[in-house]
Amino acid sequence: MIELLTLEQFREYKAIGKGFVAITDKNLSKNCVHDTSCNFVKERYFSQKVIESGRKNGSYYQTDDYNEAFERFEKMQRCQFCLP
Ligand SMILES: [Zn+2]
């Protein structure tokens, strides 16, 4: 599992279109793991959370195995839209 820290990293990973993205959020009751191609995995949201807010409310991680997201983070859930 690798944390996504820059727009370049995010774009590259999104362009490959494989694997999963775990998104954590301290202000929400749950964290969420998505298929990389999910519409909720958006550059604008990434930019807001990671670049503009400096990850103080949450972070983005790439992984080939979404079970890793459940092992690493509490309150993790699968996205209802891309991983029902
Ligand atoms: Zn999703």
Residue 78 CA to ligand 1 centre (angstroms):
7
31-45 confidence digits (pLDDT tens): 999 999 999 999 999
With cut-offs at 50, 70 and 90, classify the pLDDT of residue 66: very high
With cut-offs at 50, 70 and 90, classify the pLDDT of residue 5: very high
Tokens of 26: 């301290």
Q: Cβ neighbours of residue 4 under 8 Å, at least 6 residues apart? A: 10, 13, 21, 46, 50, 59, 60, 61, 62
Residue 22 CA to ligand 1 centre (angstroms):
10
Q: Please check whether residue 22 is in contact with residue 58, taking contact to mean a CB–CB distance below 8 angstroms.
A: no
Q: Please check whether residue 4 is in contact with residue 13, taking contact to mean a CB–CB distance below 8 angstroms.
A: yes
Residues with Cβ–ion distance below 5 A, ligand 1: 34, 38, 40, 79, 81-82
Check residue 81 and report its DSSP letter: T
Q: Please check whether residue 78 is in contact with residue 40, taking contact to mean a CB–CB distance below 8 angstroms.
A: no
45-55 confidence digits (pLDDT tens): 999 999 999 99
